[in-house]
Amino acid sequence: MFPMKWIAGIALAAASAVLVVPVAEAKKKPVAVYATDDDVFFALREASRNGDAARAEELASRLGNYAIPSYVDYFRLRPRINSAPEQEIRAYLNRWEGTAIADRLRNDWLLELGRARNWVLFDEQYPQFVLNDDTQVKCYALLSKMEKGQNVADEARALLVAPQNYGEACASLINTLVQNSQFTADDLWGQVRLVAESGFGGTIRRIAPVTDVSEKVLMQALDKPDAVLAHGPGVGRPSHEVFLVALGRSAKNNPDRAVKALVAASDRLNERELAQGWAQIALPTSVKLAPDAIVYWHRTDGAPLSLDGYQWKARTALRAGEWKLVKSTIESMPASLRKEPAWVYWLGRAQIAEGKKEDAQPLFQSIANQTNFYGQLALEELDQKIAIPPRAQPVTTEEIAPMADNQGFRRALKFFDLNMRFEGYREWNWELRKMNERQHLAAAEFARQKNVLDRMVNTSDRTKTEFDFTQRFPSPFRDVMVAATQKLGLDMAWVYGLIRQESRFIMSARSQVGASGLMQIMPGTARFVARKIGMGDYSHGQVNDVNTNITLGTNYLNMVLHDLDDSEALATAAYNAGPSRSRAWRSTLTRAVEGAIFAESIPFNETRDYVKKVLSNATYYAAMFESKPQSLKARLGMVAPKGFSASDLP
């Protein structure tokens, strides 16, 4: 829940602090009066985000002595980034050079310079963009290279994999690559399918001019695919490609209709197009966990796939127990994907399934030192259990002292006090880039002293050779938790593992959809559980109280667990996505599967990541609480269709 739902209504504090201006004065000229400079700062940020340059200038002028002047200046300048004099922008960058917010402004400026095709200034500023984490800026950088006659096709193919980040820049890059013959027809139509797969109509419109197909026809394939399928594939590659796009879109709603359309058109499609057509159908049916998906994937040999396509082909093969297909799919993945711990692990398992244990061992060894879900599972494949690594030498007062003096950390703490966590994270993480492992441990300890436990956890999580698991896996409110879990017979390690993922121990955490507190409980769920356990005096204002939140959260988790046959894998998925979804995912199984396979094939990205992290966390917490090695595999167990008995399990 926490990763996706986080970012709560921060501006509410500012809104509530605005004083009412008398009616007589308001008729003359409405003037907002704020109780504190912090309230003015909130309003300034909001004006800047809304692009209200005049309002931002007026508010910034009130904050001449504010504690975070770099942000006052940033919010004043940001709405005018496309019209401000170059010297004003340079003056800001020079004044605040080396800070996180200066790098943010350079990011903003690079986007404007790219849109204006001002390559001279862009090329000067781009090497100074430290984070370089903006896909659109990277696309503009490739456009700049092309302007100078360079071939960037390979770089573009590696970059253009996530259409949600394309914007104008990457669409323009695709068009220019095609026009300059650096992208082939295969490249172009691969991008069209990828964008259509993700549903970004705006990008489809931008790249339509280089497809030899009208924008209207492409958008019909996106929005009214069944009408396109009814007309068949037509004649020529562009028409065939539009038909393939429509197949994928139609299969999201009605796979059977898409299958019938493809079968009917099969004699008019070449072998490559037919394989691609089955891939277009296989992906959405895999995400639906449909049993026929494995049949469709077997018909896709030679079809180029998106990153999602490769992964869902492998997941579908895992669910079906087809290890040969698991192996061949992983081996055909792009190198960047094949190196991810998940696919290293499953390739090792596929090797074992083929009786090649000696080939699997190096794969497991390559990730077994990673303190994540698949690192833990790999360790078990090497016949070891999950234990807490030896604690690093405790950091000293002398090591912590520079953290207290760090200006970036000071700004972060100020933002945390204001509940402006996004800005606080930016400042905190910016400082961590410059630090070694000992300094990370010292920074984490400083965060503990300041009771910013989420930063303690995330900072300590970065170390690779020195570890302090008391930082990584804290267990605050232990007395409350012991009482709540013992009363229910609930595994306390699991509950802490869930809280660590839900809220990172931020007591006031509130998600976009309204979940609150340590255990991120939805308002309706809180009321339901309160009634069920006889908490007659419950009111929603109590949800952030530690005792109440833990009582409600543990009781709900216990209800979900018992409803799902005491499977922590199923119950964890249910806590994040809802019990009905967890039951629905389970109902698609045709056989009992390992809990790890169930987790890997959850169709919601957030929930899939959530289940892995919660159960990985729980395994480490159990090792800490019990002072003995643990098994993640045992915790995951087997997940079987409803009604299977123990004798049905392998």
Domains located in the chain, CATH noted: 2-119 (1.25.40), 135-322 (no CATH), 397-466 (1.10.1240), 478-648 (1.10.530.10)
Q: What is the mean pLDDT of residues 270-286?
A: 98
Q: What is the mean pLDDT of residues 513-533?
A: 89
Residue 299 has pLDDT above 90, yes or no: yes
Q: Please tell me whether residue 18 adopts helix, strand or coil conformation.
A: strand
- Give the closest residue to 210 by CA, choosing from 231, 185, 193: 185
Q: What is the mean pLDDT of residues 276-284?
A: 98
Q: Which pLDDT band holds residue 6 (cuts at 50, 70, 90)?
A: very low
Give 155: exposed, middle or buried? Use CB within 10 Å, 0-12, 13-18, 19+: middle
Say what percent of the chain tops pLDDT 70: 93
Q: What is the mean pLDDT of residues 117-135?
A: 98
Kindly report, residue by residue over 306-355, the tens digit of the pLDDT: 999 999 999 999 999 999 999 999 999 999 999 999 999 999 999 999 99
Q: Please, which residues bridge with residue 386 across strands?
A: 630
The whole-number pLDDT of residue 31 equals: 60
Give the position of tokens 């045992």. 634
Q: Please tell me whether residue 593 adopts helix, strand or coil conformation.
A: strand
Q: Which pLDDT band holds residue 221 (cuts at 50, 70, 90)?
A: very high
Q: Which pLDDT band holds residue 20 (cuts at 50, 70, 90)?
A: very low
| DSSP label of 34 | E
CA pair distance 137, 122, nearest whole angstrom: 10
Residue 29 has pLDDT above 60, yes or no: no
Distances (CA, A) of 437 to 270, 402, 576: 56, 15, 33
Say what percent of the chain tops pLDDT 90: 90
Q: What is the pTM of this model?
A: 0.93
Kindly report, residue by residue over 172-218, the tens digit of the pLDDT: 999 999 999 999 999 999 999 999 999 999 999 999 999 999 999 99
Joined tokens for residue 74: 């940033």
| DSSP label of 236 | S
Give the position of tokens 């917010």. 101
- Give the closest residue to 170 by CA, choosing from 142, 192, 189: 142
Q: What is the mean pLDDT of residues 139-149?
A: 98
| DSSP label of 609 | H
**510 backbone dihedrals φ, ψ, rounded to 5°:** -140, 125
Q: What is the mean pLDDT of residues 128-146?
A: 98
- Give the closest residue to 440 by CA, choosing from 426, 455, 425: 455
CA pair distance 603, 354, nearest whole angstrom: 27
The answer to which of 240-249, 353-362, 443-452, 499-508 has the lowest mean pLDDT is 499-508
- Give the closest residue to 189 by CA, choosing from 163, 168, 207: 207
Q: Which pLDDT band holds residue 514 (cuts at 50, 70, 90)?
A: confident
Q: Which pLDDT band holds residue 512 (cuts at 50, 70, 90)?
A: low
User: For residue 41, what are the contacts with CB-CB under 8 A and spacing of at least 6?
Assistant: 63, 66, 68, 71, 72, 418
Joined tokens for residue 109: 């400026």
CA pair distance 402, 119, nearest whole angstrom: 41
